[in-house]
Amino acid sequence: VVLLTLLHVDLDEFIAAVEMRRRPELRGRPVVVGGNGDPSARGVVATASYAARRFGVGSGMPLRLAARKCPDAIFLPMDRAAYETASARVMEALRTIAAELEVAGWDEAFLATNDDPRAVARRVQDVVRAATGLECSVGIGDNKLQAKTASGFAKPAGVFRLSGSTWPTEMGHRPVDHLWGIGRKRAGRLAELGIATVGDLAAADVALLERAFGASTGRWLQETARGEDRSLLRSHPRAPRSRGREKTFQKDLSDRAVVEAEIVQLARTVAEDLIEGAAKSARVVVKVRWAPFFTQSRGVTLERATADPDDLARAALAAFAVQYESRPIRLVGVRCDVVEWNR
């Protein structure tokens, strides 16, 4: 029996690091990347450099708020192409160490090893640094959950190991929202049940959790709190389940025709994405976010799967029409379920 150990590789301040790599004069300075780079526009922080984080700036924060917390920060627009290129180089470097690699985002990957995991982790850091000039942190665990959690403790540029035996001491006293998959809402509901820490959740009555969260999620919450995770490394990229585009307007729109023109544009772009992947869709869902911030969605099901831009645009307009009201609109989105995916 070969017992594999899992490693989770997480690039440090990835997007900000890519920007600082091409503009070395920004090193050590507060750098905030997000939106179109205008801190007075609608948008949120994608990544803040460590220097910016010391001012309380973090991912997901509105750019306007980030600018207030750190007026001297350098604000930069998102440059997806640059991050995709850098990410591809990182993954390529990781594949020289482990053929079986699960890419979990631009800046994350899981790999398995039966060698000494700490030695492999150091090698990962050396290889990534040599290939890209970027730093990463590596978490080691008996499963993906433990490895992923451990990489958070490894930052910056470190290595940290969790196991079934150290999990309770390392995690038991922490608030439940430190667990992967528990955000503000679930933490709030758990608090109502008197469950505040990971240890509380690990020891909770599972029937109570199942009643409050549903059978599947309830059980999963408890397993997660106990550091248990049977999910496998997924080294083959999965075909996308859906493709979509959405757009937040810099100013709320009240003119129906203008909104419809935006929807047609989004639907046509989604159609291009589908065609590029040799995919088709038979369901088109239009999301509308009404001012100030109420989100709604309605879909239409097509008789046949298609990637035809005109058909998808027409379907999107129909899905918009059934929910249209004469009120200001902040965002519209078009998403297509993928029913076929060739190649």
Catalytic residue numbers read 108
Q: Does 68 bind DNA (CB under 7 A)?
A: yes
- CB of residue 288 to DNA, shortest distance in Å: 9
Stretch that binds DNA, among 24-32, 139-147, 158-166, 329-337 (CB under 7 A): 329-337
Q: Does 342 bind DNA (CB under 7 A)?
A: no
Region for 261 from its dihedrals, namely left if φ exceeds 0, alpha if ψ lies in -120 to 50, beta otherwise? alpha
Q: Does 85 bind DNA (CB under 7 A)?
A: no
Retrieve residue 133's tokens: 């000039």
Give Cβ neighbours of residue 331 (< 8 Å, ≥ 6 apart). 246, 247, 248, 249, 287, 288, 289, 295
What kind and span of H or E run contains 273?
A: helix 256-276
* Of 121, 112, 64, 61, nearest in space to 235 by CA: 112
Q: Does 284 bind DNA (CB under 7 A)?
A: no
Cβ proximity to DNA: between 242 and 254 the closer is 242
Q: Does 104 bind DNA (CB under 7 A)?
A: yes
Q: Does 71 bind DNA (CB under 7 A)?
A: no
Cβ proximity to DNA: between 79 and 246 the closer is 246
CA geometry: angle 38, 54, 146, nearest 5 deg? 105
Among 273, 308, 311, 340, binds DNA (CB under 7 A): 273
Among 12, 19, 107, 229, binds DNA (CB under 7 A): 107
- CB of residue 1 to DNA, shortest distance in Å: 28
Output the furthest CA–CA distance in the chain (Å, rounded).
66
Q: What is the CA radius of gyration of the chain?
A: 23
Dihedral over alpha carbons 87, 90, 91, 92 (to 10 degrees): 120
Cβ proximity to DNA: between 115 and 148 the closer is 148
Matching residue, tokens 């050590």: 28
Among 38, 283, 309, 318, binds DNA (CB under 7 A): 283
Q: Does 160 bind DNA (CB under 7 A)?
A: no
Buried b (16+ CB within 10 A) or exposed e, 48-68: bbebbbebebeeebebeebbe
Stretch that binds DNA, among 19-27, 123-131, 288-296, 308-316 (CB under 7 A): 288-296
Q: How far is CA 132 from the centre of its chain?
A: 22
Among 4, 29, 38, 44, binds DNA (CB under 7 A): 44
Separation CA 233–CA 142 (nearest Å): 12
**Mask 243-262, x = binds DNA (CB under 7 A)?**
xxxxxx--------------
Cβ proximity to DNA: between 273 and 308 the closer is 273
Write the DSSP string, 192-253. HTT--BHHHHHHS-HHHHHHHH-HHHHHHHHHHHTT---PPP--SPPPPSEEEEEEEEEEEE
Cβ proximity to DNA: between 8 and 161 the closer is 8
Q: Does 233 bind DNA (CB under 7 A)?
A: no
* Residue list 168-227, contact with DNA (CB under 7 A): 179-187, 213-218
Stretch that binds DNA, among 134-142, 163-171, 201-209, 291-299 (CB under 7 A): 291-299
Separation CA 25–CA 47 (nearest Å): 18
What kind and span of H or E run contains 289?
A: strand 279-290
Query: Interface residues with DNA (CB under 7 A)?
Result: 35, 42-44, 46, 59-60, 62, 64-65, 68, 104-108, 148, 179-187, 213-218, 238, 240-248, 273, 283, 285, 292-293, 295-299, 301, 330-331, 333, 335
